[in-house]
Every structure is written in C-alpha cells, then in structure tokens.
Amino acid sequence: RLESLPQRFQGEKTSESKAELRPLASFSELGVSLAVQNALKAMSIHTPTEIQAACIPPLLAGRDCIGNAKTGSGKTLAFAIPIIQKLSIDPYGIFALILTPTRELAFQISDQFAILGNSMNIRTAVIVGGMDMMAQALELGNRPHVVIATPGRIVDHLNSGSGEWNLSRVKFLVLDEADRLLSPSFVPELSHLFKILPKERQTCLFTATLTSSIEDVAKAPPRPGKQKPFIHRM
C-alpha cells in the first residue's frame, strides 16, 4: 500500500505524476512526423498551441474530435497537420473535405495547407461561391487531395453532375467554424453532404463557441464499434 512505502518512494511517485501533467512541449511528442515538423519549421512554427497539443494526438490516432478554442488559437493547423500527415500514407482521391462558412475563411485555410504541404506535392482545391464554376470544375478534375469548400458551392458542383470526381474516398471531414455550419441556414446543404459522404471516415468539428447543436453532436451515441469523439473545451 502506498502509505506504507518509505517516504522517499512516495516522493518519487509524486514528482513522476507531476511530470505526466506537464504540457506537451513539442510537435515531436505529439507524434507529428519529421517531414511535417520540417514544414512547420519553415513556417517558423516551433511549439504547438493548446488546441493543437490537445487535438493532434487523437486525430492521428483516428478518433473524431470536437475542438473548442478562441479565434486565433491555431485551430487550422490542429486539423491540417494530422490531415497532411495521414495523407502522405494514402495519397489517393479526395482525401479530406473541409467545410467552412465563408469564402475568406476557405482561402485562409487553403493558404495554410499550401505552405504546410508545399514540399509534399499536396494538391488543394478551393470551391466557394461567387467564383467561376467552370474553373472550379477543372480544379476538381485535377485530382486534388484536399478540398476546402463552402457547403452551397460544393453541393452545386455535385448537383451539376459534371466531371470525373466524387467524394467516395473522403476519409476526413472537417467542419471549421462548426457553430455557424450547424446553424439552420446550412442545414439543407449539410444534410445533402452527410448523405453522400462515406460513413467510414474521421469527422472533426472546430469552433470558438460551443453551441447547443455542437453539444448535441458531442452527446450523440457513437456508431457501433466507434469511440466517442475526443472533446477539448477551452
């Protein structure tokens, strides 16, 4: 029994558990690959933020994830890093679909993927409203690995039925700014997409606000054989 151990060992036990509570200090400790670590160094990014330290390990381990952290806390790399790392071992078809509510956010996410994936030949396509449908159809036909889209426009492309692409090999779905995507104005497009997307995939939600619809997702029972999503609350 612990209390019967000599003081010396109890002391060691305490400092050991303290060491376990120490925040993770490096991307390497989170399981991020050397290739991705080097890409991060080239972006002058050396230490993970809290949301990255929390969400990268469960996402690399294949779990669904709900990440809640304020604006500017590095949520984009919290999903971009695991996507790029997993992509490098399965470079086939549209691997990841990232949904975001606005055009501006889509381009910001795309910029980060472009820098991070630069040395790894990762192709991304940005499919947002207010831009040329034909040019986007060509981009989709160019076998992108990652598609960053606003829901309305990607559904427009699916409905137009043109092109050689589909979403049948998507392994990773991200709802960025999930509080806004789960609001009533996006429900028709999202339910359409959820019908089409493969059920065998990872899903992650990132948000600065935990709304009741996100809490509902968090509480929903997982599909048989699946773990509950990992949840990080700020």
Residue 93: both structure tokens together: 């078809």
In the bound complex, what is the minimum distance in angstroms from residue 98's beta carbon to Mg ion?
11
Q: From Mg ion, ligand ADP, none, which one binds at residue 74 (CB under 5 to 8 Å depending on kind)?
A: ligand ADP
Segments of 80-123 assigned E as strands: 96-99
Q: Considering CB under 5 A, how many residues would be counted as binding Mg ion? A: 1
CA distance 156 to 127: 10
Window of 38-46, 55-63, 71-79, 111-119 that interacts with Mg ion by CB under 5 A: 71-79
User: What does DSSP assign to residue 200?
Assistant: S
Single out the residue of 19, 24, 22 nearest to residue 57, CA to CA.
24
In the bound complex, what is the minimum distance in angstroms from residue 175's beta carbon to ligand ADP?
13
Window of 40-48, 118-126, 152-160, 161-169 that interacts with ligand ADP by CB under 6 A: 40-48
CA distance 61 to 111: 26
Q: From ligand ADP, Mg ion, none, which one binds at residue 153 (CB under 5 to 8 Å depending on kind)?
A: none
CA distance 76 to 43: 14
Residues 65-94, one symbol each (x = binds ligand ADP by CB under 6 A, - = not), give ----x-xxxxxxx-----------------
Of 76 and 110, which CB lies nearer to ligand ADP in the complex structure?
76
Q: From ligand ADP, Mg ion, none, which one binds at residue 26 (CB under 5 to 8 Å depending on kind)?
A: none
Of 77 and 127, which CB lies nearer to ligand ADP in the complex structure?
77
Please list, in sequence order, all residues whose beta carbon lies within 8 angstroms of the beta carbon of residue 132, skipping any fewer than 6 positions away. none
In the bound complex, what is the minimum distance in angstroms from residue 32's beta carbon to ligand ADP?
11
75 touches Mg ion by CB under 5 A: yes
- In the three-class reduction of DSSP (H, G, I as helix; E, B as strand; rest coil), residue 145 is classed as coil
Beta strands at 124-127 and 230-232: parallel, antiparallel or unpaired: unpaired
Give the angle subtended at the CA of 131 by the CAs of 128 and 132, to the nearest 5°.
120
- 197-to-60, 72, 107, 163, 193 alpha-carbon distances in Å: 20, 29, 23, 17, 6
In the bound complex, what is the minimum distance in angstroms from residue 180's beta carbon to ligand ADP?
13
Q: How far is CA 182 from the centre of its chain?
A: 16
Q: Considering CB under 6 A, how many residues would be counted as binding ligand ADP? A: 13
Chain contacts with ligand ADP (rule: CB under 6 A)? 45, 47-49, 52, 69, 71-77
Chain contacts with Mg ion (rule: CB under 5 A)? 75
